[in-house]
Structure 1
Amino acid sequence: MPIYHPHQDEHGKPVLIKHPSTPTTAEAWQDAAAIATAIPGGQMPAIINGILVSPWTDHPKTAEGWNAITSQQLDQEEPPLKQAPGFKASAGIVILESDGRVWIVAPTNHFGGYEWTFPKGTVTQDMTLHATAICEAMEESGLQVRITALLGDFTRTTSVCRLYLGERIGGSPASMGWESQAASLVPLDALPRLLNGAADKPVIEALRKYFPIGNGEILAGGGNIVRTLQAIDGFYATYGEWPTHLQMSANHLATLVTHHLSPKGFFKLQSKIKLVVEDGNLIASSTNNRTFNYSRHGWDVHNTRLLAREWLGI
């Protein structure tokens, strides 16, 4: 029986999906180590990583509307896109989840030879790079996203593409447009084997600079990861219960994300304890106002075993 995309193409014609993708089970959406796949019009969980999954029905319909979305604006000034002669300007976004996974899309019928790639598209005369990236994310993945950083500019087959990093704030992959036949949430370490296009290989290398891609939870020991675990252990040794919050400086958090923990390891940390960024001391605390100040007590309190590692599962 022929399978057609729920959405018609730009000419109002039905789109036949020659080799339909297969959706995954509901459990995959909650497993940070699993690949979870959605198909157009398919069933989706109500919530993924604490964010509602619901179609973005009030998205802009005009270039002016897309340009006006405030979530597209970055704090830092961007360099101009260097458009090579004969190459179009395009923009897209790498959408990262809090559990360490990333969204990719499967172009319908492997258009352009791509099995999987990132949402992106050609910049029209009336739309900015930011607006194009946000719009393409909605059209190709069904997701409502916010730009968080600039990843870089990448020369592709027919375009020079500015790719941003971003996060999902709404939408549903089941609402993807006709250009995509599937959208998947995948672990970062699965990208090298899923992204078959040669133009996406430099993107993976750029992502490695932001997020270590590997299978382990702890990528590098010592330093701030040891201090973090000792603060948690010290709290447990003092009060016989686990802390609910961990206060740290922005620099401390940055080293955990970029140096010590893999996306899977950072997800496990965040799933067990709320991280609070504030300059000053490293402090573990609980909702009943109990605190353990690592900066003051350091290694004064010791557990007989590495309980924090066991509790976090790293």
Structure 2
Amino acid sequence: MTWVIPEATAYGGILLNSGGQVLLREPANHYDGYVWTFAKTRPQGDEKPEQTARRGVRGEVGHDAKVIGVLPGVYRGGTTTNAYFLMISDHGHGSASQETQSIRWASYEEARVLIKMTTNHVGRQRDLQILEATQRWLEVNYKGVIAFEQRGSSGWAIKGDWMTEEMPDRFVTLPLDFYLGPKDAEAIRKGYIPSAMEEKWFSYFVDNKLYQHRSWTGFLIDRISFVEERGGLRAVQADVNRQREQYSQTDDAEDVARIELMVRELAVQNRSFDTD
């Protein structure tokens, strides 16, 4: 997974959780006037930004972390320009470096108070801007964060692997007619559990139906019906969400084409995993 992040002279990670907390570090001896701040570091050698940020987080707060997004914007400090990844902890952590005096999880309100203790004016303003941007990001994406905290990416998909909602009363039933051979049919039965937050679909297969949900919201967009044929599966129809607040597409022909493309891509993707 390659994340697109603005170019900067230093990269960091904002560790957050679905409970509305961020992880702050207290630099040893409040170096350069920083009392509470976020982990970051400069690149070494030919490191990619994500590698730099994860190394900084591991060293400065002692957490191995998984990147789940990119904080919009570049944030200027006294000597560096900084870009940040949004991360969740992989639940394993060791000791922080000697450059960190202590770490603590804080709510956004608590973090705001702690960051304001920093006497470095430029750094204080930067970290408050980062905090506000992080809070705005989580307000939009908190359902996805919950799902990643609870499940992550593992094996064959079942409904309980992700947050899901039922098909709304407003939907259309569209005719389909495409065939999947035995190997592709077996592949789509695995469904798909997202492994990164920009992957926008969760799917699972049961009773010869493939359910396709948006990963961020859990909204059910497609309920695709198949019949068994020659050892494979033939798609015969799909119930497609037409609740405007959940899915804005209204062109039936475009949905028919999209569904076939997505199903075939799912088959190819899952078959590729079997050969890795």
TM-score range, shorter chain: 0.3 to 0.5
Give the TM-score normalised by the residue count of structure 1: 0.42
Structure 1 or 2: more strand by fraction: 2
Give the TM-score normalised by the residue count of structure 2: 0.47
